[in-house]
Structure 1
Amino acid sequence: MSIDLKTIKHISKLSRISVDEERADKLAKDLSSIFEFIEKLNKLKTDNVEPLTSVAETTLKLRSDEIESDNIRDQIIKNSPDSNEDYFVVPKVIE
């Protein structure tokens, strides 16, 4: 399938995008090559090919949802430049 300038201008008009002549030529060539590639893909016989849902054919191992760390709030608060009881104090961002 070949895309010509007339088609590019029609598409740009429908999408309300202004395209100059130089850019329209490049778009026509790019879209033509894309459609040529799609036509090649359409010719492939994929009747006996199963759909690919994942590259890795493994299943995820289930694990129980357990808390692995005991009360580390104090250790976390130590990382704050300034603290106010149990909260981080940060500089004001919005004026």
Structure 2
Amino acid sequence: MSEITPDLVRHLGVLARIQLSDDEVTQLTGQLDVIVDNIAKVSEVATADVPATSHPIAMSNVFRPDEVGQTLTHEQVLQNAPDAVDGRFRVTAILGEEQ
């Protein structure tokens, strides 16, 4: 027996403030009934011993250890900079304050 009836679809339309024609009610009744049946089938298969998953294949993040490596000196970093002041890159202002 179908759980979704035309009266239920009309009621849902009123709650959603959607005006539905008779053809739309008939079409939606069938479509919603199929959706509810499919959800019921999935619910029958889902059991407590099957863990919920977000992805069909087990995935894990691969991180390398966070270790300090060899770094550049200030001189090495700034050696090819077009303009530098006080050990920093000098760039054009983007907000038009210094032109």
In the superposition, the TM-score normalised over structure 1's length comes to 0.59
Structure 1 regions of 5+ residues with no counterpart?
A: 75-83, 88-95
Query: 1:48 aligns to what?
Result: 49
**Compared with structure 1, are the counterparts of its residues 12 and 73 closer, same or farther at alpha carbon in structure 2 (3 Å cutoff)?**
farther
1:1-36 per-residue CA deviation (whole Å, 9 max, x = no partner) reads: 431211111111111111111111110000011111
In the superposition, the TM-score normalised over structure 2's length comes to 0.57
Percent of residue pairs bearing the same amino acid type: 17
Query: 2:74 aligns to what?
Result: none
The alignment's C-alpha RMSD in Å is 3.4
* SS class of match (1:17): coil
- Point out the more displaced range, 7-16 or 36-45: 36-45
Q: In 1, Cα distance between the equivalents of 2:50 and 2:93?
A: 58
Query: 2:63 aligns to what?
Result: 62
- Kindly tell me the number of residue pairs found equivalent between the two proteins: 78
Structure 2 regions of 5+ residues with no counterpart?
A: 70-76, 83-90, 95-99
Q: State the 1:47 CA deviation.
A: 3.0
Structure with more relative contact order (C-alpha pairs < 8 Å, separation 6 or more)? 1
Does structure 1 residue 28 correspond to structure 2 residue 29? yes
- Amino acid aligned to 2:62: K
